[in-house]
Amino acid sequence: MSTSVGHRFDGQVVLITGASSGIGAALARKFANEGAHTVLVARRVERIEALAAELTATGRRSAAVAGDVTRDGDLERAVDVALKEFGRLDVAVANAGLLTTGRIHNLTLDDYRRQLETNLFGALRTVLAGLPALQETRGRLVLIGSLLGMISAPGSTAYCVSKFALNGLSDGLCHELAPYGISVTHVMSGFVDTEIYDKTTLRRPTQKWIQLSADDAARQIVTAVYRRKRCLILPWPTKLAILLQRHFPQVVYFAINRAFRKATRQREAEAAVQTGKTAT
Ligand SMILES: NC(=O)c1ccc[n+]([C@@H]2O[C@H](COP(=O)([O-])OP(=O)(O)OC[C@H]3O[C@@H](n4cnc5c(N)ncnc54)[C@H](OP(=O)(O)O)[C@@H]3O)[C@@H](O)[C@H]2O)c1
């Protein structure tokens, strides 16, 4: 028997990392709309406390837990809060992430470490901390990956490495956790308009049709999680890109190479103008 939209997670408990902005905050609101109690984890504690208060005011319970996914023990503490406050854990969403941009010559080993520590090991910490409680409820795991876990983009290679790794993690975990009744949903998203781009040099695309709002992404993710889908690719142009990569990798290589060389020429021209200005 299926449950009606608006009640699909009634009484369930959902833990979300990176709930202080973007997709994580939108997911918290959407899960709460579907009847869930939420545990919100992030470093910007004032933001998750405000969100927890907002959700509590709508009639769902919510707890904010200051936590850093790169730190051992923080996720275990968040799961403890879920169990102490709400008595169970049904869904754990490994969403926290950052986007490191820059080419290999401009990045250090520590930049790569920070990227992997957050996007890959942060997700692993969420999985490991959540597993015992999820086994009790035959619950759901969600890994927020990216289109850049299927297609590597120059200038975002560190990020791509972290998201490619999530691919391997989710595919293997699906099999390993099936006997325990735990589903794994891997979300591969294209462009979603969030703060993640604010700290980078990347320009947001101007074409509306290739982007999603965080609310739209959250709506689709919650439905996929409810249905225990193994993989969700969104929005539709992302599906097209992955299809091309699978069947015509040379076409994708050519397109990326062309765009990259154009960007390099533009960068060099801008640098030359800058140098000229400094010299005068
Ligand atoms: N936006 C896109 O186009 C897009 C596309 C594909 C995939 N994604 C993925 O979606 C996820 C969410 O990103 P977003 O776009 O919603 O960006 P966002 O608005 O910048 O949100 C990132 C979240 O991650 C949290 N976070 C970062 N480092 C953390 C750490 N060490 N410990 C705990 N929390 C941490 C941030 O919280 P605090 O800073 O408060 O800790 C924030 O809540 C990321 O995994 C991202 O890679 C995004």
Structure tokens at 236: 């539709």
Report whether 163 contacts 148 (CB < 8 A): yes
Q: How far is the CA of 98 from the centre of ligand 1 (A)?
A: 5
| Ligand 1 pocket mutation pick from 15, 16, 17, 20 by most atoms within 8 angstroms of CB | 20
pLDDT in tens, 60-106: 999 999 999 999 999 999 999 999 999 999 999 999 999 999 999 99
- Chain position carrying tokens 């293997």: 172
Q: What's the pLDDT score for residue 252?
A: 95
At the topology level, CATH places domain 13-247 in Rossmann fold (3.40.50)
Q: How far is the CA of 161 from the centre of ligand 1 (A)?
A: 16
> By C-alpha distance, which of 153, 214, 145 is closest to 173?
145
Average pLDDT, the chain: 95
3-state secondary structure 22-82: HHHHHHHHHHHHCCCEEEEEECCHHHHHHHHHHHHHCCCCEEEEECCCCCCCHHHHHHHHH
| Ligand 1 pocket mutation pick from 45, 98, 169, 198 by most atoms within 8 angstroms of CB | 98
Average pLDDT rounded to a whole number, residues 183-207 = 90
User: Model-level pTM?
Assistant: 0.95
- Chain position carrying tokens 């990798």: 249
